[in-house]
Amino acid sequence: MVDCKPVQTPMAMTKDSDSGSPNTDHWIMVKRILRYLQATLIMGYTFADPPLALSNFLECRLGGSGTDRRSTGGYAIFLGPNLIFGHLQDKRVEMAKISIAIVCVAATAWLMASGAMAQVSEWDNGTASAYGGSAGRESFGGACGYGNLLKQWYGLETAVVSTALFNDGITCGACYEIRCYNNSQWCAPGSITVTATGYCWPFVPIPGVHAGRCYPPRKHFDLPDPTFDKLVKDDHAGFIPLQFRRVPCVKNGGIMFEMKGDPDFIQVLVYNVGGGGEVVGVSVKGPDTFWPMDREWGAIWKSNQRLVGHSLSFQVFTSDGKMVQCDNVAPATWSFGQYFEGSSSNGDERGGSLS
């Protein structure tokens, strides 16, 4: 007993609460960590090139502590060649913490993979057609909730997309690079970038009447006439094979917030979002703290918080795993029908009324 360590009295005789399987408190901790990861993916480690396989290395030593003869252990978790988590401690709490660490690292890998959607993806095959006249006004409005696309800075470089791409409105705001493909008669060289701003209704195909261009599983882009004409040599082309891929959105100005609804049911149209383009979450802060909003439909988000008469801040979460916080975007005197431009940090917010 040469190396025995004195213990302070009274000594706890109960079983350590951290040993064994993770409990509810551990999973609450995991959720907090995941929320932190979701908001800070643009910070932290720089990862080496893929493949990013998840590996765990564990070592345990019976009675390995020289001070109290407790068993010791250590572990290291790698994502590909990158060491992202490691620990050395006595073995009582090790298994619970290893379980939490593996969950967190797996979630990080998933968030990184989902964030990769905002990077350039592989080319996929689809189809495209044109609609409306040369002014493109038929593209205004639609299932995403946008209004006048010219005043909302989207222009006519937009598309209404089929069910296979719309994803119940989550795709609203996503950007695609598209090009005419495999048709020398109609295809013009080059590609263009469009933003998904609406939903192409999936009419059932009727032989001899129409082909059901947006009917599942077809991946279809319905384009304003002036946009479609950029893809073809001859404006007599009506239906063309297409290749497309997701690309990051490049937008001018800040994220836009248009106030809708009524005092009991606040609605906010969020648009002109760069990066991932797709908005997967919005939180609003009035007098106290940030509250998550619910997607009403398309790009419109709702809240039943009492927010009239308070300045408003927003957090916008996008499909590339990033969060932009726009502080004090709307002053306390805001009213329904107004819109405001937010920035993440420099406080350069501007507002007005859409006509």
List the domain boundaries for the chain.
Answer: 24-118, 124-247, 255-353
Residues of the chain above pLDDT 90, percent: 45
Helical pair 94-115 and 24-39, crossing angle rounded to 10 deg? 30
**Could you give the CA distance from residue 328 to residue 285 in angstroms, rounded to a whole number?**
9
pLDDT value of position 117: 45
* CA dihedral angle for residue 336, residue 339, residue 343, residue 346, rounded to 10 degrees: -80
- pLDDT classification of 116: cutoffs 50, 70, 90: very low
| Domains 124-247 and 255-353 equal at CATH topology level | no
**Please, what sign has the CA dihedral across residues 165, 169, 171, 173?**
positive
Q: Give me the architecture of the 124-247 domain, per CATH.
A: Beta Barrel (2.40)
- Residue 112 main-chain phi, psi, to 5 deg: -65, -40
Tell me if residue 129 falls in helix, strand or coil: strand
Confidence of residue 204 (pLDDT cuts 50, 70, 90): confident
- Could you read off the pLDDT of 295-344 as tens digits, one per residue? 999 999 999 999 999 999 999 999 888 999 999 999 999 999 999 999 64
pLDDT in tens, 54-110: 676 766 666 666 666 566 677 777 766 666 666 666 544 445 555 555 555 555 554
Q: Give the integer Cα–Cα distance in Å for 317 and 340.
A: 18
Lowest mean per-residue pLDDT among 57-71, 105-119, 172-186: 105-119
Pick the CATH number of 255-353 from 2.60.120.10, 3.10.129.10, 3.40.50.300, 2.60.40.760: 2.60.40.760
pLDDT digits (tens, 9 = 90+) for 3-47: 555 545 454 444 444 556 778 878 877 877 777 766 665 555 555
